[in-house]
Amino acid sequence: MTKGLTPPTPEEYAPFYADYIQRAGEKDDVLKALPGQIDDLRSTLGKLSDQQARFRPAPAEWSIKEVVGHLNDVERVFSYRLLRVSRNDVTALPGFQQDDYVRESKFDECDLNELIQEFEYLRRANTLSIRNMTDESVLRRGTASGTTISARALIYMLVGHVEHHMASLQEKYLLNIN
Protein backbone atom coordinates (compact mmCIF):
# COMPACT_ATOMS: atom_id res chain seq x y z
CA MET A 1 0.00 0.00 0.00
CA THR A 2 1.14 3.53 -0.73
CA LYS A 3 3.55 4.65 1.99
CA GLY A 4 4.60 8.01 0.63
CA LEU A 5 4.65 9.83 -2.63
CA THR A 6 7.39 11.66 -4.39
CA PRO A 7 6.45 14.45 -6.79
CA PRO A 8 5.76 13.44 -10.38
CA THR A 9 8.22 14.35 -13.09
CA PRO A 10 7.18 16.79 -15.85
CA GLU A 11 6.81 13.84 -18.27
CA GLU A 12 3.93 12.56 -16.15
CA TYR A 13 1.49 15.41 -16.78
CA ALA A 14 0.58 18.12 -19.26
CA PRO A 15 2.20 21.56 -18.75
CA PHE A 16 -1.27 22.95 -17.98
CA TYR A 17 -1.18 21.09 -14.65
CA ALA A 18 2.23 22.33 -13.51
CA ASP A 19 0.67 24.89 -11.14
CA TYR A 20 -1.40 22.17 -9.44
CA ILE A 21 1.65 19.92 -9.09
CA GLN A 22 3.70 22.78 -7.64
CA ARG A 23 0.97 23.74 -5.14
CA ALA A 24 0.62 20.13 -3.98
CA GLY A 25 4.39 19.80 -3.72
CA GLU A 26 4.42 22.68 -1.25
CA LYS A 27 2.52 20.48 1.20
CA ASP A 28 4.64 18.49 3.64
CA ASP A 29 2.75 15.28 2.91
CA VAL A 30 0.34 14.99 0.00
CA LEU A 31 -1.38 11.97 1.56
CA LYS A 32 -2.15 13.98 4.71
CA ALA A 33 -3.16 17.02 2.67
CA LEU A 34 -5.94 15.06 0.95
CA PRO A 35 -8.23 14.78 4.01
CA GLY A 36 -6.93 18.04 5.48
CA GLN A 37 -8.45 19.99 2.62
CA ILE A 38 -11.92 18.95 3.80
CA ASP A 39 -11.46 20.96 6.99
CA ASP A 40 -9.84 23.81 5.06
CA LEU A 41 -12.86 24.11 2.78
CA ARG A 42 -15.36 23.82 5.62
CA SER A 43 -13.61 26.36 7.86
CA THR A 44 -13.16 28.82 5.01
CA LEU A 45 -16.66 28.66 3.53
CA GLY A 46 -18.96 26.82 5.92
CA LYS A 47 -20.32 29.89 7.72
CA LEU A 48 -21.22 31.92 4.64
CA SER A 49 -24.84 32.87 4.09
CA ASP A 50 -26.61 31.91 0.90
CA GLN A 51 -26.27 35.48 -0.35
CA GLN A 52 -22.54 35.52 0.39
CA ALA A 53 -22.08 32.13 -1.31
CA ARG A 54 -23.66 33.51 -4.48
CA PHE A 55 -21.04 36.27 -4.64
CA ARG A 56 -19.06 36.48 -7.87
CA PRO A 57 -16.20 38.98 -8.30
CA ALA A 58 -17.34 39.85 -11.82
CA PRO A 59 -20.39 38.99 -13.94
CA ALA A 60 -18.52 36.37 -16.00
CA GLU A 61 -16.88 34.76 -12.94
CA TRP A 62 -18.23 31.76 -11.06
CA SER A 63 -19.99 32.25 -7.74
CA ILE A 64 -18.55 30.72 -4.57
CA LYS A 65 -21.15 27.94 -4.80
CA GLU A 66 -20.12 27.31 -8.40
CA VAL A 67 -16.47 27.10 -7.36
CA VAL A 68 -17.32 24.46 -4.76
CA GLY A 69 -19.48 22.59 -7.26
CA HIS A 70 -16.59 22.73 -9.72
CA LEU A 71 -14.29 21.26 -7.07
CA ASN A 72 -16.74 18.37 -6.78
CA ASP A 73 -16.91 17.86 -10.53
CA VAL A 74 -13.13 17.84 -10.88
CA GLU A 75 -12.76 15.56 -7.86
CA ARG A 76 -14.94 13.06 -9.74
CA VAL A 77 -13.16 13.49 -13.07
CA PHE A 78 -9.63 13.26 -11.65
CA SER A 79 -10.51 10.32 -9.41
CA TYR A 80 -12.06 8.44 -12.34
CA ARG A 81 -8.91 9.03 -14.34
CA LEU A 82 -6.87 7.93 -11.33
CA LEU A 83 -8.86 4.71 -11.03
CA ARG A 84 -8.44 3.88 -14.71
CA VAL A 85 -4.73 4.74 -14.87
CA SER A 86 -3.82 3.03 -11.59
CA ARG A 87 -5.60 -0.14 -12.77
CA ASN A 88 -3.42 -0.15 -15.87
CA ASP A 89 -6.29 0.69 -18.23
CA VAL A 90 -4.62 2.11 -21.33
CA THR A 91 -7.83 3.45 -22.88
CA ALA A 92 -7.41 7.12 -23.76
CA LEU A 93 -9.70 9.23 -21.59
CA PRO A 94 -11.46 12.33 -22.92
CA GLY A 95 -11.25 15.83 -21.54
CA PHE A 96 -14.21 17.85 -20.33
CA GLN A 97 -15.34 21.45 -20.59
CA GLN A 98 -15.44 22.84 -17.06
CA ASP A 99 -17.41 25.95 -17.98
CA ASP A 100 -20.12 23.82 -19.61
CA TYR A 101 -20.33 21.64 -16.50
CA VAL A 102 -20.69 24.65 -14.21
CA ARG A 103 -23.24 26.35 -16.48
CA GLU A 104 -25.41 23.21 -16.60
CA SER A 105 -25.11 22.45 -12.89
CA LYS A 106 -27.30 25.15 -11.33
CA PHE A 107 -24.99 25.08 -8.29
CA ASP A 108 -26.34 28.44 -7.09
CA GLU A 109 -29.62 26.66 -6.35
CA CYS A 110 -27.82 24.13 -4.11
CA ASP A 111 -27.21 24.46 -0.39
CA LEU A 112 -23.58 25.48 0.20
CA ASN A 113 -23.17 23.15 3.17
CA GLU A 114 -24.44 20.23 1.08
CA LEU A 115 -21.90 21.08 -1.62
CA ILE A 116 -19.17 21.09 1.02
CA GLN A 117 -20.47 17.80 2.43
CA GLU A 118 -20.41 16.31 -1.07
CA PHE A 119 -16.76 17.32 -1.37
CA GLU A 120 -16.07 15.66 1.97
CA TYR A 121 -17.64 12.36 0.92
CA LEU A 122 -15.85 12.36 -2.42
CA ARG A 123 -12.50 13.23 -0.87
CA ARG A 124 -12.80 10.66 1.94
CA ALA A 125 -13.57 7.93 -0.60
CA ASN A 126 -10.65 9.03 -2.78
CA THR A 127 -8.29 9.15 0.20
CA LEU A 128 -9.15 5.56 1.13
CA SER A 129 -8.70 4.43 -2.46
CA ILE A 130 -5.33 6.17 -2.77
CA ARG A 131 -4.06 4.76 0.52
CA ASN A 132 -4.85 1.26 -0.75
CA MET A 133 -2.95 1.67 -4.02
CA THR A 134 0.35 -0.08 -4.40
CA ASP A 135 3.55 1.82 -5.03
CA GLU A 136 3.60 0.18 -8.46
CA SER A 137 0.09 1.35 -9.37
CA VAL A 138 0.76 5.03 -8.56
CA LEU A 139 3.60 5.04 -11.10
CA ARG A 140 1.43 3.77 -13.96
CA ARG A 141 0.71 6.06 -16.87
CA GLY A 142 -2.20 6.53 -19.18
CA THR A 143 -3.66 9.15 -21.49
CA ALA A 144 -6.19 11.83 -20.60
CA SER A 145 -7.14 14.86 -22.68
CA GLY A 146 -4.67 13.73 -25.32
CA THR A 147 -1.58 13.76 -23.06
CA THR A 148 0.30 11.34 -20.84
CA ILE A 149 -0.70 11.33 -17.19
CA SER A 150 0.46 9.21 -14.28
CA ALA A 151 -1.59 8.07 -11.32
CA ARG A 152 0.91 9.86 -9.07
CA ALA A 153 0.40 13.12 -10.97
CA LEU A 154 -3.36 12.76 -10.61
CA ILE A 155 -3.01 12.42 -6.84
CA TYR A 156 -0.94 15.60 -6.77
CA MET A 157 -3.45 17.27 -9.07
CA LEU A 158 -6.32 16.47 -6.69
CA VAL A 159 -4.52 18.39 -3.95
CA GLY A 160 -3.18 21.15 -6.20
CA HIS A 161 -6.53 21.83 -7.84
CA VAL A 162 -8.14 22.51 -4.47
CA GLU A 163 -5.17 24.66 -3.40
CA HIS A 164 -5.48 26.67 -6.63
CA HIS A 165 -9.15 27.44 -5.99
CA MET A 166 -8.68 28.07 -2.26
CA ALA A 167 -6.10 30.72 -3.14
CA SER A 168 -8.50 32.24 -5.69
CA LEU A 169 -11.31 32.26 -3.14
CA GLN A 170 -9.09 34.06 -0.63
CA GLU A 171 -7.79 36.61 -3.15
CA LYS A 172 -10.81 37.37 -5.34
CA TYR A 173 -13.86 36.40 -3.32
CA LEU A 174 -13.63 36.43 0.45
CA LEU A 175 -11.90 39.80 0.66
CA ASN A 176 -14.85 41.35 -1.18
CA ILE A 177 -17.76 39.86 0.76
CA ASN A 178 -19.61 42.21 3.09
| For residue 159, pLDDT beyond 70 | yes
Split at pLDDT 50, 70, 90, the class of 104 is very high
The shares of helix, strand and coil residues in the chain, as percent rounded to the nearest 5, are: 65, 5, 30
What is the pTM (predicted TM-score) of this model? 0.96
Domain contains 39: yes
Domain contains 162: yes
Report the CATH number that the domain containing residue 55 is assigned in CATH: 1.20.120.450
Domain contains 73: yes
Domain contains 100: yes
Domain contains 127: yes
Tally the domains of the chain: 1
Distance, CA of 178 to CA of 131 (rounded, Å): 41
The pair phi, psi for residue 4, each rounded to 5°, is: -165, 155
| For residue 133, pLDDT beyond 70 | yes
Distance, CA of 162 to CA of 68 (rounded, Å): 9
| For residue 109, pLDDT beyond 60 | yes
Which domain, by its residues, includes 123? Answer: 10-176
**Averaged pLDDT, 152-168:** 98
Domain contains 71: yes
Looking at the chain, the whole-number percentage of residues with pLDDT higher than 70 is: 98
Domain contains 1: no
